[in-house]
Every structure is written in C-alpha cells, then in structure tokens.
Amino acid sequence: MHCQKETAQAICDKGADYVLTVKGNQPMLHEQIQKCFEDAGDKDYNVPGLRRLTKTEHGHGRIERREYFVMPAPKSLRDTGDWADLRTIGMVYRERELRGTDTHEVVFFISSLPPSAQRLAKHIRGHWGIENSLHWSLDVTFGEDKSRIRLGSAPEIAGAFRRLALSILKRDTSVKKCSIRGKRLQAGWCNDVLEGILTGKQAD
C-alpha cells in the first residue's frame, strides 16, 4: 500500500529513509527488480556490489530460514527520478517449515539506505514482527481470519474498524488486569465499561 512515489518523496523530505516492499501495485518496478535478481542468480549471485545474508530461526515448532540479497539500484531505475533517493534494491527469500508443511515466499523491496544486508535485514525483520503481532491480535480478538465479509470495499472498511478498535483497547487503562479479548467482551456486556474504554474513565 505504501510503495508509492509520493510516499517515498515525503519520507525523504523529512530527512528520513525508507524500505518499501514492492508488490503487484507497481508491476513495472516489480518486473525490473525481479529481472535484476534473476540475472544475478544465473551468475550464482557473484556480481559486483551484491551482498547476501542468511538467517535461521527455530521456535514454537517452526523452522524459518531467510536469505537477504541486496545490491545498488541499477542506473536505469535511479535515472528516472521516480523514486526519491533510491539507492538499493533487495530480495528476501523465506522458507518456513511448520508441522511438516513447507512454505516459500519471495519478496522484493527498494530502499534509500545503502546496500547493507545486515542493516536492511534488521529493518525488514522488525517490520514483519510488527505485522505478525498485529495479525495475531486481530485474529484472536476479532476472528479476522474467519470473517465472511467479501464484497466490494467492505473487507478493507471492516479491517480499518477492527484496527481502530484494537488500538483503543490497547490504549485503555480503565479495565485493570484484563486481556484485549476480555476487554472487548466486557465492553459488549456492560455499557459503563464501554464508556470507560472510550472516554478513559474508570468504570464504577
């Protein structure tokens, strides 16, 4: 969603750096980056400027292996000026084994940071950690994965309201020693609790 030229420019205008995942909403950019890494793969990734890092994690019955590949953005992409301060293109290959089932994923990204595999891996991993935590909370608290809302823009609208509600519940201090799911249940049972959560006032 945020892989937009205007977003990259706004970030750089504030003196910050970006790492943006490239997906289907940028088909030409996605195709160019994919071609770069396919060509590098044909040379066993032995190309000037390419950096590679492998990480493996074990936990909760899961084995996850991630390979990060980064290289300086090609001149053809930089010269367009479409992506502010573009310096790096990257690829992440994720392989996960969970309860005997293997899944694979390839993700491409662009960044205004220099092509340091270690540094970019840290940023990407941190982002995925936040996304995974959010998804888990939404599924447990609101049953998002079981939602039957399918038509039109309704899924996006419902998702936005779930995230708003989750944010309010997380910030609430009126209900003491209670899980997010428990707060939601209490708010549905008692209007005083609901009012306390919405206004930040302790319920009687």
DSSP 152: T
Please give the torsion angle defined by the CA atoms of residues 56, 58, 64 and 69, in that order, rounded to the nearest 10 degrees: -20
Q: Does residue 72 come out as left (phi exceeding 0), alpha (psi in the -120 to 50 range) or beta?
A: beta
Residue with the bigger pLDDT between 38 and 164: it is 38
Domain contains 34? yes
Residues 103 and 172 in one domain: no
Q: In sequence order, what are the residues at sequence separation of 6 or more whose Cβ sits closer than 8 angstroms to the Cβ of residue 188?
A: 194
Per the structure, how many domains does the chain have? 2
Total residues belonging to the chain = 204
pLDDT at 167 exceeding the cut of 50: yes
Assess contact for 82 and 34: CB atoms under 8 A: no
* 152 and 63 fall within a common domain: no
pLDDT digits (tens, 9 = 90+) for 184-195: 788 788 888 888
Average pLDDT, the chain: 82
Considering the domain architecture, whether residues 98 and 179 belong to the same structural domain is answered as no
Write out the residue range of the structural domain in which residue 92 sits. Answer: 5-115
31-65, pLDDT tens digit by residue? 999 999 999 999 999 999 999 999 888 766 678 88
